[in-house]
Amino acid sequence: MSIRILKFVGSRNIKRFHARGVRLLATASMVGLFLVVPGVSYSQGSDGSEGSDEEESLPTWEIGVGGSAFAQPDYVGSDEYRMRGIGFPWLIYRGERWKLTRDAIQGRIFRTDRLRLDLSVYGQLPVDSDKNDRRAGMKDLDWRAQVGPNLRVLLHNSDDGRDTLRLDLPLRAVFAVDLDEFSYQGFTSSPKVRYRMKRGPWRYEAQAGLEFNDRDYNDYVYAVDTPFVTPGRAGYDADGGYAGTRVAAGVNRYWGDFYVGLFVRYVNIAGASFDDSPLVGTDHAVTGGLALAWIPLTSDSHASVHSNDAETED
């Protein structure tokens, strides 16, 4: 009798822990989805103020809500585009020892401000295979949450702090997130160089970098297993390696309690390790759209933010 009770309790706790893990990853994925938006930054307070050196004073915490509307392909390499929309919470905390932004948790580990190490989060939308001609009849692609460290290296900062150049070196594990479970699907990395410019209330950002995926991740998105082979779709096993080149740009600013940003991103996968997959219809992918947020709650206290802090998304 006692053994059965222990088994029951253990099973129930495991399921409860599993469900909580799924919800946590799903939330991270949904929040991270907004982070596909390049050029959206947090280097300005809601009052439109601007610092004049390497550090500026911003509210210790901010709470709000926002949304983004954008056009993008179903997945990189897909030749079918859709309009997407998603809402997100705006939660920012700037503490002395650690910081929280929409895409990262950052702690101060190094003695120099030129190096920062984050726990970063990124997300990708699900794909309904029945609505995509090349994937018709195949398994859907679930929400994909990416979580892992990101080393930020400050390469240059102007004397007035208005122009910065930074190198980002992220490495993230990918999890496919469904309503009741999640599964590991490999690793991805997207090293990039990012330039940010501040002019009055406006913030401009440009970035360029490379994409790399391991075999597990490429198999999840681009492989065609035997049960899904058709006369027009050959079987395919993906390799890991180079996954494309990315460039992006954006502009944003605050108006009182409101934030607005415009963004565009271009990816070229010519020569990628999976570009011969039958699920790839084009070597080009373009994403662009608009982001809006309302931040009605901010702290009275302020914190200093350095040019290399985790104040911008991927």
**Which comes out higher in pLDDT, residue 311 or 253?**
253
Provide the token pair at 196.
Answer: 């940010």
pLDDT number for residue 98: 77
Give 258-282 pLDDT, tens digit per residue: 999 999 999 999 999 999 999 999 9
**Residue 311: inside a domain:** no
**Residue 210: inside a domain:** yes
Range of the domain at 113: 2-306
pLDDT number for residue 182: 83
Give 58-92 pLDDT, tens digit per residue: 888 999 999 999 999 999 999 999 999 999 889 88
What average pLDDT score do residues 103-111 get? 64
pLDDT number for residue 17: 42
Give the mean pLDDT of the chain.
82
pLDDT number for residue 122: 86
What average pLDDT score do residues 102-109 get? 65
- By the 10 Å C-beta count (0-12 exposed, 13-18 middle, 19+ buried), 44 is classed as buried
- CATH, residue 246: 2.40.230
Give the number of domains in the chain: 1
**Residue 313: inside a domain:** no
pLDDT band at 159 (very low <50, low <70, confident <90, very high): confident
**Residue 198: inside a domain:** yes
pLDDT number for residue 100: 77
pLDDT number for residue 55: 61
**Residue 312: inside a domain:** no
202 near 257, Cβ under 8 Å? no
For residue 69, which of 33, 103, 41 has the smallest C-alpha distance?
A: 33
| CA–CA distance, 130 with 137 (Å, rounded to integer) | 6
Q: Any bridge partners for residue 157, and if so which?
A: 164
Give 8-48 pLDDT, tens digit per residue: 334 444 444 444 454 444 444 444 444 444 333 333 344 44
- List Cβ neighbours of 281 (8 Å cut-off, separation of 6 or more): 77, 78, 79, 80, 134
